[in-house]
Amino acid sequence: MSRVGKKPIPLPKGVKIAIGNQLEVEGPKGKLTVPIPAGVRIEQKDGTLELVRDNDKLAALHGLTRALAANAVTGVSTGFTRELDIVGTGYRADVKGKVATFSLGYSHPIEFILPASVDMKVDKQTHLVLTGHDRQELGHVAAQIRALRPPDPYKNKGVRYTGEALRKKAGKTGAGGK
């Protein structure tokens, strides 16, 4: 039994939907489409969306489709945010339009071109706030930025998600040789 799939999705004001081979959701922040697999139906009932599956073999797809549809509705109405921190002496970021420039301890600055649906703000050169209406693309961009300089377990330097817990490792100790 899919508990996620049975939960109705409330439709906020200003969100328009079109149900066909795929669910098209349009709101003030943008437009998204969600594929609807065979055997799963979407029904609109008094301001909510409900997903119904044909049989119990589709329970996993039922829950997945409901989660994707709920993310699309939330994204076009309020949007999503992802926050990253840059830790390290001399590490900083700057953004001009859709081009973000990072200084992360390499011999050259790194330029990162942001997709059209993702916006970035930089606070104090070390705190990044990414916003967008597509949750999947926003998470992918945040992961790509983090991968430019992943957190080092010995010195804790690098790009990390805000609030990410890191395990600090102890460095080498002892006298060398025999």
Write the pLDDT tens digit of every residue in 56-104. 888 888 888 889 989 998 888 888 999 998 888 888 888 888 898 988 8
What's the pLDDT at 81?
92
pTM (two decimals): 0.82
Asked if 106 and 134 sit in the same domain, the reply is yes
| Residue where one domain finishes, among candidates 55, 77, 99 | 77
Mean pLDDT of 3-23: 85
Q: At what angle do helices 59-77 and 135-147 cross, to 10 degrees?
A: 80
CATH code for position 17 = 3.90.930.12
Q: Which residue has the tokens 């049975």?
A: 6
65 and 21 co-located in one domain:
yes
- Structural domain count, the chain: 2
Please report where in the chains the tokens 């926050």 appear, as a residue: 83
Better-scored residue on pLDDT, 68 or 171: 68
End-to-end alpha-carbon separation of the chain, Å?
Answer: 63
Please choose, from the candidates 116, 124, 120, 63, the residue with its C-alpha nearest in 3D space to the C-alpha of residue 91.
Answer: 124
Q: DSSP secondary-structure letter at 91?
A: -
Range of the domain at 53: 3-77
